[in-house]
Structure 1
Amino acid sequence: MRHFHNLLYVSHGTADDTEGLKQALSLARNNAAPLKVMVVGPEFPREFPNYQKNYETLLLEQVEQSIDTTKAALELPHDAVDIRLTLVADRTPAIKVIQEVIQHGHDLVIKEAEPRDKRGGFKAIDMELLRKCPVPVWLCKPISHSRQHIKVAVAIDPETQEPVTEQLSKRMLELSRSLADSCSGDLHIISCWDYEFEGYLRKNVWVKTPDTKIEETVLKAKTDHRAALLNLINTSGIHGPHRVHHLRGDPSDQIPRFVRDHKVNILVMGTVARTGIPGFMFGNTAENIVQQLSCSLMALKPQGFVSPVKAF
């Protein structure tokens, strides 16, 4: 199934883009979609106008060389993917990327994640794209495995009162299923639950609640959450092998730990947004998870999200 039709890859042009381009070219090939490569660089110093053209030419040549190297590594024929290059020099690269998306109808932004320390996470430009870009954002981190061994996971919250959030969850399941089918075939579905009042009820000296009643209530919370999760999976219509991981605890802790322990290569997750109005509330939970990730991330927003960035 084709999920994307007009892909945008963002490059700084000055670093080795091989890892990010591998994932971008693979996505373009699997979706039979064109790939536009946007080379984003700083504004060239006005004091050296005679050197600007040479500088821009060098940037494009470096990216073209990276594309050729990546095609060879993937054993892609020269014309397997329709690739176009464009160069933009600006002090606000994330804004320029989002404006490109809005003006030209791109439906996926792909970018190699900015280098960070060993704790994982993403840097400023990446986080700005996650917060404000109106289409899904794929942030690439190195994947050393062959495609047949790449692990795909999706993080789902089945307890929602809004149809738009349920729709997003189903889209995440469909997309992660498609990604898993193009990789190892196995899909890991993660969902976190908890009963926050358990500690309060057990320790409160003024309210004597029997342990059996507390345990019964906690078990019901777990059972209801799992039932909602399984119903969401069933109604999404996905097929194929998958494993459900029903984890107790804070998603900010549990999801990054699961990614590390199970050596997940690609995580699909949704972001929390105020739909229908300009601006974006990324959400503390989502942001805490993202800043701890050690894998590639595909982040989706609910339908109706409006970017605060204007097209022009």
Structure 2
Amino acid sequence: MENYKRILLIADPSMRRTVAFERAVWLARSSGAALHITLFDRNPLINLAALIDKDRAHAAIDAWLNERLVWLRGEAAELESDGLKVSTDVVWAAPVEDDVLMAIADYDPDLVVKDVHYESRVKRVLLKPLDWQLLRSCPVPLLFAHTFSHAVPSRVLAAVDASLPSKEQKAINQRVIERGLFLARQCKSEFHLLYAFIGPYTPMMPMGPAAAYLSDFYRSVEPAHRRNFTELADAYGVPIECRHFISGPAAQTIADFAREDHSDVLVIGTLRHGLVDRMLLGSTAEAILDLSPCDVLAVKN
């Protein structure tokens, strides 16, 4: 896999060097990639003022954007003095899915980097968070930087689906592993491979006669899952001590393991969703993003 050539950072509108900012800079420096920084922001009060006095509102918008552009250009100049190739852009808009996707299409990056933005439970139910939307729609690998992440990852964890996968699932497993290995080599960090097998998992088991049937079913299919996982790990030369086959519900189990294993980056795959999927409130990938204690690198099939 070739090094990154173009990295797009979605900057925080607070005009500060966040974890995502530092992560994007480090990746650009280590890979030799060009870094483009886009900052989306707007002031709703100025939007309201435009209903009364458009000319003064336009002047206020220009001043608002110029303040952010001056900050970005100052940061870019500092980075360029260290040898990085940096470009900047400021957009008068709240960062919404369409605006971010347009920026991605315009720049055509190999990687997008963004801070994780946590929403309240109520907002997540009533309104899809931007991070969730981008998980589903971003056409290139997307790195969500966690608030408490280390500057340079020392442990990369790739989570795969080793069930009886379709052709599509095999392809996404391959991309997840290859992206994880690439990042681990670039960071000179450990690489670990994980599969969360759904059962048997006691808290999820029903009571009564169905429990025995499901327990027998899980035991009957587990060997096939283990073989699939072993074949995946063998194909990429993952050491035995870096392979983890564990039981439990996918999102919580993966997030818990990442926390206990002190992982710095969790690599996951996201499949393209149809209309029915888009109508649902969430997916495993979205749940993992909410629960993960570390950076999440989402790879599209």
TM-score between both structures, scaled by the size of structure 1: 0.77
Distance 1:32 1:160, change over 3 A: farther
Deviations 1:195-232 (A, max 9, x none): 469956x8318x987xxx966x6444333212101212
Partner of 1:33: 33
Out of 124, 127, 133, the position equivalent to 1:128 is 133
Deviations 1:41-60 (A, max 9, x none): 12653343333333222102
Mapped partners of 2:180, 2:156: distance in 1: 7
Contact 1:269 1:299 in 2 (8 A): yes
Out of 156, 163, 166, the position equivalent to 2:167 is 163
Distance 1:68 1:297, change over 3 A: farther
SS class of match (1:17): coil
Partner of 1:102: 105
Mapped partners of 1:280, 1:6: distance in 2: 29
Mapped partners of 1:49, 1:263: distance in 2: 49
Alignment of 1:37-116 (within 5 A): 37-42=37-42, 44-45=46-47, 46=50, 47=53, 48-67=57-76, 71=79, 78-91=81-94, 93-115=96-118
SS class of match (2:291): coil
Distance 1:5 1:68, change over 3 A: same
Distance 1:135 1:85, change over 3 A: same
Mapped partners of 1:129, 1:229: distance in 2: 28
SS class of match (1:13): coil
Alignment of 1:234-245 (within 5 A): 234-235=234-235, 237=236, 243-245=242-244
Contact 2:11 2:38 in 1 (8 A): yes
Gaps of 5+ in 2: none
Alignment of 1:207-218 (within 5 A): 218=218
Mapped partners of 1:230, 1:281: distance in 2: 35
Mapped partners of 1:279, 1:177: distance in 2: 30
Distance 1:208 1:36, change over 3 A: closer
Contact 1:154 1:173 in 2 (8 A): yes
Contact 1:108 1:135 in 2 (8 A): yes
Partner of 1:5: 5
Distance 1:231 1:267, change over 3 A: same
Mapped partners of 2:272, 2:238: distance in 1: 29
Contact 2:97 2:134 in 1 (8 A): yes
Contact 1:18 1:67 in 2 (8 A): no
Gaps of 5+ in 1: 72-76, 303-312
Mapped partners of 2:241, 2:212: distance in 1: 42
Are 1:188 and 2:188 an aligned pair? no
How many aligned positions are there?
A: 283
User: Aligned residues: percent identity?
Assistant: 20
Write the letter of the residue equivalent to 2:109.
H
Partner of 1:225: 225
Mapped partners of 2:225, 2:240: distance in 1: 21
Deviations 1:81-117 (A, max 9, x none): 2110011112453311101212332232111222568
Contact 1:195 1:221 in 2 (8 A): no
Mapped partners of 2:177, 2:240: distance in 1: 13
Are 1:138 and 2:143 an aligned pair? yes
Write the letter of the residue equivalent to 1:204.
P
SS class of match (2:242): strand
RMSD (Å) for aligned C-alpha atoms: 3.4
Distance 1:284 1:113, change over 3 A: closer
